[in-house]
Amino acid sequence: SQTIHQWPATLVQPVGSPLSLECTVEGTSNPNLYWYRQAAGRGLQLLFYSVGIGQISSEVPQNLSASRPQDRQFILSSKKLLLSDSGFYLCAWSVPPSNQPQHFGDGTRLSIL
């Protein structure tokens, strides 16, 4: 069966520090991968998605970036965190066609001090 792992579960970082959140999927090949940010009362905001290795699409301009160095690995990064980067970050995967659901990891709670 397929599983998705996100780490760390919680992270407290100072303003201006770098960030690296990792997501890996097991049990499927060539999945579509997604990064979301969830802010209270605002639902889920799609940040990045990827249809294959090295292919990244950005939905929202910001100081975050994403990379997909391997088929089932998706990384969210920042060189310098802002206070506004605080939130709950979720990774998800899906496979075509578009009527298939997305499957979510347990998320990372990021607090910026």
Using CB under 8 A as the criterion, which residues of the chain lie in contact with other proteins when the complex forms? 6, 32, 41-44, 46, 49, 51, 88, 90, 92, 94, 96-107, 109
Q: What is the C-alpha to C-alpha distance for residues 91 and 51, in angstroms, rounded to an integer?
A: 14
Whichever of 76 and 90 has its CB closer to other proteins, that residue is 90
Whichever of 38 and 77 has its CB closer to other proteins, that residue is 38
CB of 62 to other proteins, least distance (A): 18
Whichever of 15 and 39 has its CB closer to other proteins, that residue is 39
- Residue-by-residue DSSP string for 70-88: ETTEEEEEESS--GGG-EE
CB of 78 to other proteins, least distance (A): 21
CB of 4 to other proteins, least distance (A): 8
- Name the burial class of residue 19, with classes exposed (0-12), middle (13-18) and buried (19+) by CB atoms within 10 angstroms of its CB: buried
- In DSSP terms, which residues pair with 104 in a beta bridge? 92
CB of 70 to other proteins, least distance (A): 21
Whichever of 9 and 15 has its CB closer to other proteins, that residue is 9
Cα–Cα distances (Å) from 34 to 2, 13, 106, in that order, read: 16, 23, 13
